[in-house]
C-alpha cells in the first residue's frame, strides 16, 4: 500500500523523542516500509526517519501551550494553534493535490485542525487517538464528523439510497476512521463518537535488554507533569524505604518548581532526578529497578513506559486507572492498587520480588510487540480500502 503518515507538528520526529507517541510513530513508519509498503511521513522540519519518504513542506515545529491533562484543562487559542493549523492545512492540501499517489492517510496528531482538515481530504483517513477525550472541542468536532461522513460501506449505501438518482461512478468511497490505543481510552470517547477499533501500542522488544536480577531502587519514568503523579511516586518510595530514581522531561515547569523540587530537597540522596534520558540509558535503568511506579492521576490512555519496563523484566506498581488494568497482569507482571492509595502501593513493593521477571517480558512479547501492532494496522488499512 501507499501510506501517508501524519505526525504531530509540536516537535520533529527525531531522537531524543519527547514522548512515546513520537517514538511509536517512527517505529510504525520504519516497519511498514520494511514490509514493502511505500511510506511517506509528513512531519515538522528536522524530523529524521530512515527507510521512508520524508516531507516537511517547510513546516517549522509549533510547540503548543501547556495543557494540564489531569485537570481536563485545554489551553486557549494562541499563536501556536494557528501555526499548527496552517501546517496541517498545507499537508492536507498537498494530499488532495497528490491524492492519486496514496491509498491511505494515517494521522497521529491530537490537534483540532488535523481532524477538521482530514475530514475534507479526498482519501480515506485514519486517526489514532493517543489521548482520552480531554478536549471537548475535539470531541464535538469528531461527533460532527461521525454524524456527517458515512462511517462504513453500509452507511454510504444508505446515503446513496436517500439521494437518488446518484451516479455511482462519481461517488468517492471515502471516510474518516478512528482507532484508539485501549478499551479504557475508547470509553472516554463514547459520549462523542464511536471508535472503530482498539489497537494496542507496540514496542521493539528486542531493543530492550532483559535484566533477570534487579537492583535495590524504585523508578519513576515519564514526563514531569501532575497527571503522571511523580509526587505520589516520591511518597510511595519513602514509605517503602527504598531509593527512587526519576527520569523524564519537565513538561509542567510550575508543577516541578512548586510540587516536586521541595520534595526532592527534603528527600536528600534518597530521591534522584536524572533528567530526560535517551532510550539506551532509560532501558538500562529500567532493567536495574526493583519496580516501576506508575501512580497516574488521570485516565491513562495506554502506559507505554509500563510496557517498556515489563519488557526489561521489571514489574510495575500502578494506580488502577485508565488502561493500566489492560496493560498490567495483576500479580503476574505487577500490582494494581486503588487510585490514590499510597499505602497499598508502598505495601506492594515488598511483594515484587515474588514475581517472575521473565513472565513480565513474555507478557509484552505476546501482547504489545511492534510486529503485532503493525500487523493489526495493516489489517485495518485493508478494511478501510
71, pLDDT greater than 70: no
- Checking if the pLDDT of 165 tops 50, the result is no
pLDDT top residue among 84 and 171? 84
CA-to-CA separations, 248 to 54, 127, 154, 225, 275, in angstroms, rounded: 28, 27, 46, 10, 5
Domain boundaries, given as residue ranges, for the chain? 2-202+369-384, 207-367
pLDDT score recorded for residue 167: 42
CA-to-CA distance for 151 and 277, rounded, in angstroms?
42
Nearest Cα to Cα of residue 10 among 53, 63, 46, 86: 63
Q: What is the pLDDT of residue 353?
A: 95
Q: What is the mean pLDDT of the segment spanning 140-147?
A: 92
**What is the pLDDT, as a whole number, of residue 290?**
98
291 strand-pairing partners? 218
Per-residue pLDDT averaged across 241-261, rounded?
94
pLDDT at 26: 95
Return the pLDDT at 104: 96
In the prediction, which pLDDT does 79 show? 73
At residue 201, φ and ψ (nearest 5 deg) are -65, 155
d(CA 253, CA 296): 18
Give the list of residues 6+ apart from residue 161 with CB closer than 8 angstroms, or none.
Answer: none
Q: What is the average per-residue pLDDT within 272-281? A: 93
Q: Are 138 and 35 in contact (CB under 8 A)?
A: no
- pLDDT at residue 82, rounded to an integer: 85
Q: Nearest Cα to 47, choosing from 28, 23, 74, 82?
A: 23
Per the listing, cell 515538522 goes with 44
pLDDT of residue 70: 55
The pLDDT of residue 18 = 67
- Return mean pLDDT, the chain: 90
Fold equal for 2-202+369-384 and 207-367: yes
Supply the pLDDT for residue 67. 56
The yes-or-no verdict on residue 72 having pLDDT over 90 is no
Does CATH number 3.90.245.10 belong to domain 2-202+369-384?
no
Higher pLDDT pick, 126 / 156: 126
pLDDT at 20 over 80: no
Residue 148: the pLDDT is 76
Angle between helices 342-349 and 230-240 in degrees, nearest 10: 50
* Backbone phi and psi for residue 278, each to the nearest 5 degrees, phi listed first: -75, 170
Q: Is the pLDDT of residue 160 over 60?
A: no
Handedness of CA 94, 97, 98, 100 (dihedral sign): positive
User: What pLDDT digit, counting tens, does each position of 113-131 carry?
Assistant: 999 999 998 899 999 999 9
d(CA 23, CA 180): 17
Could you tell me the pLDDT band of residue 138, with boundaries at 50, 70 and 90?
A: very high
Of the candidates 43, 326, 89, the residue with the CA atom closest to the CA atom of residue 316: 326
**Does 217 score more than 80 pLDDT?**
yes
- Does the domain at 207-367 match CATH 3.40.50.2000? Answer given as yes
- Is residue 170's pLDDT more than 80? no
pLDDT at 21: 82
Range from 154-168, 225-239, 309-323, 364-378 carrying the lowest mean pLDDT: 154-168
For residue 176, name the pLDDT band (cuts at 50, 70, 90): very high
Q: Are 20 and 304 in contact (CB under 8 A)?
A: yes
Mean pLDDT is lowest, of 2-11, 93-102, 172-181, 214-223, for 172-181
Grade residue 203 by pLDDT with cuts at 50, 70 and 90. very high
d(CA 259, CA 68) in angstroms, rounded, equals 14
d(CA 268, CA 247): 16
Q: Among 24-33, 77-86, 179-188, 243-252, which stretch is predicted with the lowest mean pLDDT? A: 77-86
pLDDT at 150: 53
pLDDT value at 209 more than 50: yes
Amino acid at each position: 500500500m501507499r501510506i501517508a503518515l501524519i505526525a504531530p507538528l509540536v516537535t520533529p520526529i527525531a531522537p531524543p523523542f519527547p514522548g512515546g507517541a513520537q517514538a511509536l510513530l517512527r517505529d510504525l513508519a520504519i516497519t511498514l516500509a520494511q514490509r514493502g509498503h511505500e511510506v511517506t511521513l509528513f512531519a515538522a522540519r528536522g524530523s529524521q526517519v530512515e527507510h521512508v519518504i520524508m516531507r516537511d513542506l517547510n513546516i517549522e515545529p509549533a510547540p503548543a501551550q501547556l495543557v494540564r491533562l489531569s485537570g481536563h484543562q485545554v489551553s486557549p487559542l494562541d499563536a501556536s494553534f494557528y501555526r499548527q493549523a496552517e501546517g496541517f492545512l498545507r499537508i492536507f492540501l498537498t494530499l488532495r493535490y497528490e491524492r492519486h499517489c496514496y491509498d491511505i492517510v494515517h494521522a497521529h496528531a491530537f490537534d483540532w485542525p488535523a481532524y477538521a482538515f482530514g475530514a475534507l481530504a479526498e482519501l480515506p483517513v485514519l486517526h489514532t487517538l493517543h489521548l482520552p477525550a480531554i478536549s471537548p472541542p475535539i470531541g464535538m468536532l469528531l461527533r460532527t464528523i461521525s454524524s456527517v461522513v458515512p462511517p462504513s460501506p453500509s452507511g454510504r449505501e444508505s446515503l446513496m439510497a436517500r439521494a437518488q438518482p446518484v451516479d455511482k461512478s462519481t461517488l468517492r468511497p471515502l471516510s474518516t476512521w478512528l482507532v484508539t490505543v485501549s478499551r479504557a481510552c475508547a470509553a472516554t470517547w463514547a459520549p462523542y463518537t464511536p471508535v472503530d477499533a482498539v489497537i494496542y501500542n507496540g514496542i521493539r522488544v528486542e531493543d530492550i535488554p532483559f535484566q533477570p536480577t534487579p537492583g535495590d531502587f524504585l523508578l519513576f519514568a515519564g514526563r514531569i507533569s501532575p497527571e503522571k503523579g511523580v509526587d505520589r511516586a516520591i511518597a510511595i518510595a519513602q514509605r517503602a524505604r527504598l531509593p527512587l530514581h526519576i527520569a523524564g522531561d519537565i513538561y509542567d515547569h510550575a508543577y516541578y518548581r512548586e510540587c516536586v523540587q521541595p520534595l526532592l530537597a527534603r528527600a536528600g540522596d534518597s530521591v534522584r532526578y536524572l533528567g530526560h534520558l535517551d532510550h539506551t540509558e532509560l532501558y538500562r535503568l529500567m532493567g536495574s529497578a526493583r519496580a516501576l511506579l506508575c501512580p497516574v492521576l488521570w485516565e491513562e490512555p495506554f502506559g507505554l513506559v509500563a510496557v517498556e519496563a515489563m519488557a526489561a523484566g521489571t514489574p510495575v506498581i500502578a494506580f488502577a486507572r485508565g488502561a493500566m488494568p489492560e496493560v498490567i497482569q495483576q500479580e503476574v507482571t505487577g500490582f494494581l492498587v486503588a487510585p490514590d492509595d499510597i499505602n497499598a502501593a508502598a505495601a506492594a513493593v515488598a511483594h515484587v520480588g515474588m514475581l517472575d521477571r521473565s513472565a513480565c517480558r513474555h507478557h509484552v512479547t505476546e501482547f504489545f510487540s511492534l510486529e503485532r501492532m503493525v500487523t493489526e494496522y495493516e489489517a485495518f488499512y485493508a478494511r478501510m480500502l
